[in-house]
Amino acid sequence: MKNNYLNIVGLAYRAGKCSIGEDTIVKDIRQKRAKLVLLASDIGPRTQKKLMNKCHTYEVPFAFVDDRETLSNAIGKSQRVAAAILDEGFAAKIQSLLG
């Protein structure tokens, strides 16, 4: 059941409702477009601190998920440590599957 969220992440990415890349995610958090930020469990400490601080400041929920390889495979891109879900429906479904 836990890995079902990966299917939703992949679907959100293919639907254009997911942003990747640290700068893009920070921009989406600032513009209040990000509804949920997913952080890989093996994210670097500086990137983790930066994204978590932005999420706290702008009151965007975030969740730690599997490692970067698993998250990258779900998105279809290599070496991704974070993803921002931009759609409320996708974000709610992922949170329910993670919770």
Domain ranges for the chain? 4-98
pLDDT digits (tens, 9 = 90+) for 29-70: 999 999 999 999 999 999 999 999 999 999 999 999 999 999
Q: Are strands 18-20 and 62-65 parallel, antiparallel or unpaired?
A: unpaired
Query: Is pLDDT of 3 > 80?
Result: no
Query: Is pLDDT of 2 > 70?
Result: no
Just give the CATH number of 4-98.
Answer: 3.30.1330.30
pLDDT of residue 88: 97
Report the chain's mean pLDDT, rounded to a whole number. 95
Q: For residue 98, how many other CB atoms are within 10 A of its CB? A: 14
Please count the residues of the chain.
99
